[in-house]
Amino acid sequence: MKTIIITFNNVSDIAMLYREFDLEQLETQYSPSSCIDDINVFIQRYVDDSKSSALWAEQHQSLRSNLAYGDSEDELIDMYLPTAKQAKGKLQVYIHGGYWQQLTKDESAFAANNFQQLGCHFAVINYALAPKVRLADIVEQNRRAIAWLYLNADKFGYDAEQIYLSGSSAGGHLAMLMAQTDWRQYGIENGDFIKGICAVSGIYDLEPIAHTYINEPLQLSEQEIQTLSPIRLSTPQCQVIIAYGDNETSEFKRQSDDMARRLDCASLQVARCNHFDVIMELSDANSTLCQQVIKQMQLA
């Protein structure tokens, strides 16, 4: 695949790199940590809350960890089983963010106990990261993971036709692409088993980040930008929640609003949240964002 190489012939080219932004401004726009004081505070919350979720689930004998959906050491899923008296038979799948370059399933289970107590199965997908693999490979791994979850539904006791996805940042991008997949290529004839998506602070058009330092480990090709940008693909046939925090850059907000318009749905701006803690609302059944997911899954 051809790698994009950007050259500048004059100062005006640099000034108009993308939309109204020059390079420095564009890189700031796509650096969500520019809106907060210390990203490590939020990453540590992911770590601590996910460890607590796993420990709680283990104590309740409701965790099946490191389930292999492929041959790679990275291709693993953690499955959290419902602990409510009456299971709903529905699966919520979380796809983590990290600009396709950071984090794992082990820092991404912070919402697991909430959904367990709501009567749902909750799965967290692990996948390989750039630059070890290309973005196209990451997308393929997640598709294989979703197919594995569909085909193994009976083994864990949820309805294969009641699968819902959520994802943050890069995970929002990946979740949207899952609903834009031809599942017949994965041995699944019924292609509408994904019933809902909650995409939070996602990247839906890859073009602007191809101009920035974020692209250094990704090395996006022109083909990847065209075929892996959700806003350029067919409209998903399931319900979609598009959300972001009120303390985010204008570009992250624009991307979400543009995607929502494309889907003809409302975008939800969550008050008092930034790019990193807005997804933590899925841990609280009474939060604004989680209430939307509960409604989407028809759990209430």
| 260-294 pLDDT per residue, tens | 999 999 999 999 999 999 999 999 999 999 999 99
| CATH tag, 38-204+226-249+259-297 | 3.40.50.1820
- What pLDDT shows up at residue 300? 79
| 185 to 76, 147, 188: CA distances (angstroms) | 21, 10, 7
For tokens 């070890």, the residue is 132
List Cβ neighbours of 105 (8 Å cut-off, separation of 6 or more).
76, 77, 78, 96, 124, 125, 126
Query: pLDDT band at 2, cuts 50/70/90?
Result: very low
Nearest to 230 by CA among 181, 176, 166, 191: 176
Task: Classify burial at 5, counting beta carbons within 10 Å of its beta carbon; exposed 0-12, middle 13-18, buried 19 or more.
Answer: exposed
Tokens representing residue 52 in the block: 């607590």
Domain ranges of the chain: 38-204+226-249+259-297
Cβ atoms within 10 Å, residue 72: 16
What is the value of pTM for the model shown? Answer: 0.94
Is the predicted pLDDT of residue 14 greater than 80, yes or no? Answer: no
* Type of residue found at 90: K
Query: pLDDT band at 16, cuts 50/70/90?
Result: low
Instruction: For residues 151-167, give the mean pLDDT.
Output: 98
Distance CA 225, CA 205 (A): 7
HSE-CB at 223 with a 13 A cutoff on CA atoms is 6
Is the predicted pLDDT of residue 9 greater than 50, yes or no? Answer: no
Distance CA 54, CA 70 (A): 22
Is the predicted pLDDT of residue 4 greater than 70, yes or no? Answer: no
| 68 to 78, 81, 109, 184: CA distances (angstroms) | 9, 17, 17, 21
Distance CA 228, CA 209 (A): 13
Residue-wise pLDDT for 53-110, tens only, equals: 999 999 999 999 999 999 999 999 999 999 999 999 999 999 999 999 999 999 999 9
HSE-CB at 244 with a 13 A cutoff on CA atoms is 27
The DSSP-derived string for 48-98 is HHHHHHHHHHHHTT-EEEEEESSSSTT-EEEEEPP-SSS----EEEEE--S
The DSSP-derived string for 150-199 is HHTHHHHT--TT-EEEEEETHHHHHHHHHTT--GGGGT-S-TT-EEEEEE
